[in-house]
Amino acid sequence: MSYGSVFAKNLFAGKVILVTGGGSGIGRCVAHELAALGAHTVLVGRKAEKLQAVMDEIVQDGGSASFHVCDIRQEEAVKQTVAAVVAAQGHIDGLVNNAGGQYMTPLEAISAKGWEAVINTNLTGGFLMARECFLQSMNKNGGSIVNIVADMWGSMPGMGHSGAARAGMVSFTETAAIEWAGRGVRVNAVAPGYIASSGMDKYPVEMAPMLREMSKTIPLGRFGTEAETSAGIVFLLSPAAAFISGSTLRIDGARPQVRLGWPMRVADAKALARDAIKPFNGFHRATTPKLFES
């Protein structure tokens, strides 16, 4: 089997695209789709074994990939990693700032250390990666950057540190789009909502019942797929988005539009079978989060 992308084959032939957090979840899916479309995909993350596994999958599927171990929160490590990619590949055409993470806790229980860890992962690390890709390659050759944020419109209760970081990344996206446009660089963001990804398995097991019920708060009546998120990212990287910069594409089933006082009309099974909203899952190696298996 191969990745069932909706985009044209060889769309990214000859392009080098770096994906942070490429060892699992949405990052893994994006890396597969880009490679299936002809890109050399560079996987970046903290765990070599996970990156190696994804690289092996891509190569087995006939794609081209490499990986670099890097903690994106460490400035010197980021500089060295980007330099190594440029040395090996000659240039960087695209960056998917996907690496991130958070944990559930109320604001009053977040320590300074915990706050800084989430801010550094979800905001500072993305800034460092984007800056170095710009300085070491894109300022000469142009390129496209897609920053992955989150559904933080209307707040993120229980994950205030992540919400603050993601909102900061949206602002960074808009600023970079202005400052780097003169060098032929586009900068956009993608904000996934509730996506059925392996990242859900990182939450405590006691949260599983609540997570399973979240689909009832989404007007389209279901969770999104990794492939639906990847498709939005790939579009923004592609030539079809050549006049789009500084924008944030929400992939969330209209969840932020839910309002008190307006009756919820969640899509039922009949509606979900209609072509316009039925799930798209072109990722041939997708795995179901454990909390949905039972």
Among the listed residues 280, 165, 159, 289, the one whose alpha carbon sits nearest the alpha carbon of residue 231: 280
Across the beta sheet with 40-45, the strand order is 64-69, 40-45, 16-20, 94-97, 143-148, 185-192, 248-251
In a domain, 248, yes or no: yes
What pLDDT is stored for residue 259 in this prediction? 78
In a domain, 7, yes or no: no
In a domain, 287, yes or no: yes
Domain count, the chain: 1
Q: What's the pTM?
A: 0.93
In a domain, 101, yes or no: yes
In a domain, 5, yes or no: no
| Spans of the chain, pLDDT less than 50 | none
**From residue 270, how far is each of 155, 165, 266, 267, 274 by CA, in Å?**
32, 38, 11, 8, 7
What pLDDT is stored for residue 294 in this prediction? 59
What pLDDT is stored for residue 157 in this prediction? 75
In a domain, 194, yes or no: yes
**From residue 135, how far is each of 56, 77, 129, 140, 245 by CA, in Å?**
30, 15, 10, 8, 19
In a domain, 219, yes or no: yes
What pLDDT is stored for residue 69 in this prediction? 98
- Domain containing 195 equals 16-292
CATH number at residue 213: 3.40.50.720
In a domain, 271, yes or no: yes
